[in-house]
Amino acid sequence: MVEKNLDFRSDTVTLPTPEMREAAANAEVGDDVYGEDPTVNKLEKLAAEIMGKEAGLFVTSGTQGNAVSVLAHTQRGDEVILEAKSHIYVNEVGGLAVLGGLMARTIPGELGWMKPSDIETAIRAPNIHYPRTSLICLENTHNAAGGIPLTVEQMKADWDVAKKHGLAVHCDGARIFNAAIALRVDVKELAKYADSIQFCLSKGLAAPVGSLVVGSREFIDKARKYRKLLGGGMRQAGIIAAPGIIALTKMVDRLAEDHENAKLLESGLREIKGIKILNPVMTNMVFIDVSGLGWTGREWAAACRELGWKSSGYSSPVVRLCTHYGIEREDIESFLSGIKKLVPKV
């Protein structure tokens, strides 16, 4: 029985499955800073295998995974190319500058994808006046673009430019499995076109904590040291790694249900005059603009609350709705019939 979780704010709100709770309670543990936690070791190996990389590193969060990856790929004073609305640039507390002493060079993407020609133009030529460009960061799925999956071809095109110029590629793959499921490709095909990938266990995969970084052995050794620097050496972390193993082995395929539910939500909301759908709905996110109802996000969130749902809602009329484990088809259906009664007639 799935525990209900009527909350559209994010897929980060997912609750662990009963099997995860049990796995956490019974996990075999050791001191992971000594490399002696068997459950963490198993999770790291599994993650690397799934992504087709040499090694993996269990980190506390997506933000920490991106931070250690960026640090391991760069030197202070380098420039990093990223999409203008990427999570690393917008939502990670300026870590590039604060932790890495790095410059950010942003490129507006087309549905989250930076065109190779734009990347090429942004790469710095060797010149005494310029910082060195050393890294390109991709995001798949791209959150702010609407949970849009970058295709294998799109990733390859960006990768080819990077490699032509000798640059590293990091992928913020917080929701890379949503991308793989939506595109119906093996996640390895996407992972092939990144030197390193960070992906989250704690979003649609429903584990309570943690992310993984995968890449070459040499890269992971470096990233592990940065994780220690950032306070991420976690000792008996098998307790939180055990649910992660369940996430990777049992929770990936069901992401398709979240995508279907997002589609259902989209089509129901489209029937409401005054609500505009802002993104092509390809994974588990629906972005809406409620200004046509005369509402801001706050009024939207208040209406959702009346129906027993949580939803984001600020002064902006744009709201992101996420579907995830804990929300089922019938929940979306009853939400839609409820909200249709609550919106003002326009």
CB of 65 to ligand TLP, least distance (A): 8
If the CB atoms of residues 82 and 293 are measured against ligand TLP, the closer one turns out to be: 82
Q: Give the count of beta carbons closer than 10 Å to the beta carbon of residue 239.
A: 21
Closest CA to 307 of 332, 287, 335, 281: 335
Question: Which is nearer to ligand TLP, 61 or 323 (by Cβ)?
Answer: 61
Q: Taking the complex as a whole, how short is the minimal distance between the CB of residue 139 and ligand TLP, in angstroms?
A: 5
Q: DSSP character for 124?
A: P
Interface with ligand TLP by CB under 6 A: which residues?
Answer: 10, 12, 61-63, 87, 91, 139, 143, 172, 174, 200, 202, 211
Q: How many CB atoms lie within 10 A of CB 3?
A: 11
Shortest distance, position 340 Cβ to ligand TLP, whole Å? 26
List for the chain the helix, strand, coil content (%; round to 5).
45, 15, 40
Nearer to ligand TLP, 123 or 304 (CB): 304
Which is nearer to ligand TLP, 78 or 172 (by Cβ)? 172
**Bond prior to 141 in cis (omega within 30° of 0):** yes
We find the least distance from the C-beta atom of residue 166 to ligand TLP, in angstroms, to be: 26
Give min distance, CB of 323 to ligand TLP, in A: 13
Contact 278, 318 (CB under 8 A): yes
Instruction: State the nearest-atom distance from the C-beta of 244 to ligand TLP, in Å.
Output: 13
Nearer to ligand TLP by Cβ, of 87 and 259: the residue is 87
The two structure tokens encoding residue 115: 């065109």
Q: How many residues in the chain?
A: 346
Q: Which is nearer to ligand TLP, 74 or 211 (CB)?
A: 211
Distance CA 338, CA 214 (A): 44
Strand-pair partners of 80: 104, 135
By C-beta, is 91 or 151 nearer to ligand TLP? 91
Q: Considering the complex, what minimum distance in angstroms separates the CB of residue 337 from ligand TLP?
A: 27
For ligand TLP, the nearest residue by Cβ is 62
Nearer to ligand TLP, 23 or 201 (CB): 201
Q: Taking a C-beta distance cutoff of 8 angstroms, is the pair 283, 147 a contact?
A: yes
Smallest gap from Cβ 211 to ligand TLP, in A, equals 6
Contact 76, 102 (CB under 8 A): yes
Structure-token pair, residue 131: 């910082």
In angstroms, how far is CA 95 from the centroid of its own chain? 17
**Helix (H) / strand (E) containing 290:** none
CA distance 273 to 269: 9
Alpha carbon 302 to its chain centroid, in Å, reads 27
